[in-house]
Amino acid sequence: MDINTNAFRIVQEATGLSSKRRRSADPQTLGRTGGLKGGPGRANALSPERRKEIAAKASAARWAQSR
């Protein structure tokens, strides 16, 4: 094994950032987790009036596509 590769591996393991650990997280699972948090978080951050405006715009867009 190359000296630099070995040094990199040792540092990664010492800091808890081993390459095996980083690759074990499934990107789809991570994306879904973020998506599940993002929607409700955004809704809580918006005022009721703004949520109503966004919903009305989305509804109008859906009706425009179906015609």
State the residue range of the domain holding 54.
Answer: 3-66
Query: pLDDT grade, residue 24 (50/70/90)?
Result: low
Question: Cα(44)–Cα(5) distance, rounded to whole angstroms?
Answer: 47
Count of domains in the chain?
1
Residue among 25, 21, 22 nearest 33 (CA): 25
pTM of the model: 0.45
Question: Cα(34)–Cα(39) distance, rounded to whole angstroms?
Answer: 9
pLDDT digits (tens, 9 = 90+) for 57-67: 999 999 998 77
Whole-number average pLDDT of the chain: 84
Mean pLDDT of 35-60: 91
Per the listing, tokens 């425009």 go with 64
